[in-house]
Structure 1
């Protein structure tokens, strides 16, 4: 008999690629490992379950999730639109130029990060200033490209106009809820335009949110006596192994 309930320790989970395992711990969101911008991860998998079963699909999904992180995109296995992008790229060389530019920047970061030594007394990497500058440059590149695209689509004014139209049709759906008549639908072309603008807006919002969150985290840490300039952004524990964090002044 099917039963719907919250997950508990000891429950068995399985993915769509043959990957399976038993839940060992259920933790609070604030106790989970987190990304550099402070976003907590949803689940931590045992890495031994990947190479031993050759879960290529699981690895692919991990990289797809990484690729669209912060873009506000919802990925479906049947709705990736990859072919549409490649089709446009065949006639628009700027697609490949942007990809090559970002790839080159990441290549430079990898070379620099390989030279950065891990300080075992604190839970962080001492990032080289060049690495930080390159990462900032990539973020600014994405932000500028997104803003340019938003302006080309009509900007904030067009977005608010389409949202107002959408709200109007949503209200009509409520009115027709108990009626035998079908509620009028929003023009598919306008729906598609709104979705496209929303994706760009989400990209910009996520970038701005990440920047604001980083500033907030820094202020909160410094209020506790943490030397942010010396130690940088703290990193979460890895695989349950605790690496000592710097002692706060006065702690």
Structure 2
């Protein structure tokens, strides 16, 4: 299923199941949104009944997960990306390197993304986003897929100059609007193999990134095993799982984003998000 959160013409925020060019409205879902349904164990009930439908073209898609308990990102997880940034003097990590994206960075799949005045080096990163479906700890890789609710497209927007100030990278990854996700949550049963998905980025129509999740150094299952060995993963947590080659920082000279740039990201079997970048005030 493709579960969307969206705003309709009268301003109300609703949820529905996307099927082709229509959205089937959920009938009497519990209060809150996808993350709260997951936390309450009411997810299956929430999506079990629909009542009426609306054209997809008549709605404004919003971030499927509005308030994730945690939003975590994995750095240096694609060999092609490591190779392209080697000239920057960045050493290849020998373990999984995780950082926080503060959850206030969440933005919708077609929202404007702000280029902050603090940064002169705002960059894009197409990533497969994994949404955790149930509270879990010490999950072996062999059972990791049992705890996944679904998948989204994520742009791990990165202010490179701020990111490089500290090894934690958190400040450069967490500006408001720097976590566009969507366009909907694709439930885990829809994706037969999350390690075989093509993912691409276009900037103003120019193809910049063209990779596949098969390139990951650490699979999604290994990521969940690593994280859950340390702390509890909660329903609604978002894991951004790394990016392939083609980021703006790796070009010579770099191709950082400027006011008016349109960034389109696509992952096969999941969908497309597209954001225009605008200067902050």
TM-score band, normalised by shorter chain:
under 0.3
More helix by share: 1
TM-score by length of 1: 0.23
Please report the TM-score for the alignment, with normalisation by the length of structure 2: 0.22
